[in-house]
Each structure stands twice: as C-alpha cells, then as structure tokens.
Amino acid sequence: MAPRLNPLTTLTAAAAVLVITTAASSWAVSLTVAAGAVLLAGVTGTARRVLLAASVILAPFWLSLLMMHGLFFPEGRTVLASWGPARITAEGLGFAVDMGLRTSAFVLVLLLFSFCVRVPDLVAALAVLRLPPQFGYVLASTLMLAPVIAARLEKVRQAQESRGLVVGKGFGSRLGAVRLQMVPLVLGLVHDAGIRAQALDARGFRRAGTRTTYTQVRDSPAQRAFRILAVVLAAAAVAVRVAASLSGGGQA
C-alpha cells in the first residue's frame, strides 16, 4: 500500500490548483482541472462519492446558469434564438459555460480533498506548525462542509443577481462581483465557525499546557519542496493575471 500523503501537501495542492484556475480564467483550464479531479477520484477510490455529491450541487447550478445567462444575458449581442423576452445569445452561453466549468472545477477539487483527507491527520499536521488545535478542527470541519459552502455561495450569487448584479468580462467587474458575493459568504462562515468554536471550548480545547498527539503524520523533503513550489506557482499565476489586467487597462 502506498504511503499516505501529508495532509498539508494535499491541502496546498488543492489551494494552488484553485488559485491557478481562477487566475487563468479559461474554460479549457477549468475543464482540464475538473477532468483531472475526476480522474484522481477514480484512482483514490472516491469517484462514486465525489460524483454523487458534485451532481447534487452542480445540477441545479448549471440549470440556473443556463436559464439566467443563456436566456437573459443583458450584454448578449449575437442572438441565436428568441422567444419573446427570452433570447439565447452566444455571449450568454459562453459566459454560462465559463462560469459553470470554473465552479465545477472548484467543487470537484474541494470534494476530492474533503473525501481523501483524514481529520485527525490534518489536525496533527497543523499541530506540527504550532497552530492551536481549535484552528485545525475548525479548518477541517469547514473543509468537510465544502458542498454546503458551495451551495451557500450559489444562493448568495442568485440573490445578488436578482438585485441587478451584472458580471462583465473585465477584471474590475469580476473583482467587484467577487467582493459582493464573498462578504455575505464569509460572514455566514464566521458565524458557523463561532458555533463550532463554542463546541470546542465546551470540550476543553482552550485549556493551557502541553498537548500530546498520538497521530503520527509522515512528511518528507520531497513533499515540503512540492508545497513550496505549489505556493510559488500560485503566486506567479496571480501576478501574471494582475499584470496582464493592468497592462490591458493601460492600453485601453
């Protein structure tokens, strides 16, 4: 049996992939990431659980995207078909596919990580970094709720769009839309984290003194080097994306 990867390695890899996917802002990259997540789920034996959970989240999400953007995209110019006020435009379909593939990549990667990582191993690995055990359990429980977070983000997005939010193709428009959607999402997650923190306090997690963990998590120089490389690649992708956006804005 192959040795289990350090949870920090899988966590860093998942985070780096999501950052690079967002920075790339390409349907081809999103499709590749989603396909890779499904392939890895098959290798790890979690394909059935990942695909079932993803279908529950993504089926209504894709339907709402096609209904709202495929038929009622305000910036659509190339009309493919129309029925009264509803118009199928090439721009609307393209936007819906782009957003759908990107969200599918996010959901599949998070689900793959949440079904592969062991919470005791993650908490023990974070303890090696001398982080409080409360942080480890809150992070682990949050990651285990990845499907719930994705569903909540979809509700926030629908609520914002019903209030007139229009996401353009420019970097500034996307950044503004992210801010409007992330604020209520983060506030809700902070509230949930506070509830979990109260449960941890009731179990004595704030007591002072040394703590002993009986879970041994393996690590290696190769995995540590991989984590550093993943962080560097993610930071480089963000830097390239920001530089390209600023350069395009300056030319405009």
Please report whether residue 220 resides in a domain.
Answer: no
Please report whether residue 211 resides in a domain.
Answer: no
Q: Encode the chain in three state secondary structure.
A: CCCCCCHHHHHHHHHHHHHHHHHHCCHHHHHHHHHHHHHHHHHHCCHHHHHHHHHHHHHHHHHHHHHHHHHHCCCCCCEEEEECCEEEEHHHHHHHHHHHHHHHHHHHHHHHHHHHCCHHHHHHHHHHCCCCHHHHHHHHHHHHCHHHHHHHHHHHHHHHHHCCCCCCCCHHHHHHHHHHHHHHHHHHHHHHHHHHHHHHHHCCCCCCCCCCCCCCCCCCHHHHHHHHHHHHHHHHHHHHHHHHHHHHHHHC
Please report whether residue 89 resides in a domain.
Answer: yes
Q: What is the pLDDT of residue 58?
A: 85
- Please give the tally of structural domains in the chain: 1
Please report whether residue 224 resides in a domain.
Answer: no
Q: What is the pLDDT of residue 62?
A: 86
Q: What is the pLDDT of residue 108?
A: 92
Please report whether residue 176 resides in a domain.
Answer: yes
Please report whether residue 227 resides in a domain.
Answer: no
Q: What is the pLDDT of residue 2?
A: 41
Q: What is the pLDDT along the chain (252 residues), one digit of tens a residue?
A: 345 788 889 989 999 999 999 888 888 999 999 999 999 999 988 898 888 888 878 888 888 887 777 777 667 677 777 776 677 787 888 888 888 899 899 989 988 988 888 877 877 777 777 666 556 565 666 565 555 666 666 677 777 666 666 555 555 555 566 666 667 777 776 777 677 667 666 666 666 655 666 677 888 899 999 999 999 999 999 999 888 878 765 444
Provide the domain limits for residue 108: 7-205
Please report whether residue 251 resides in a domain.
Answer: no
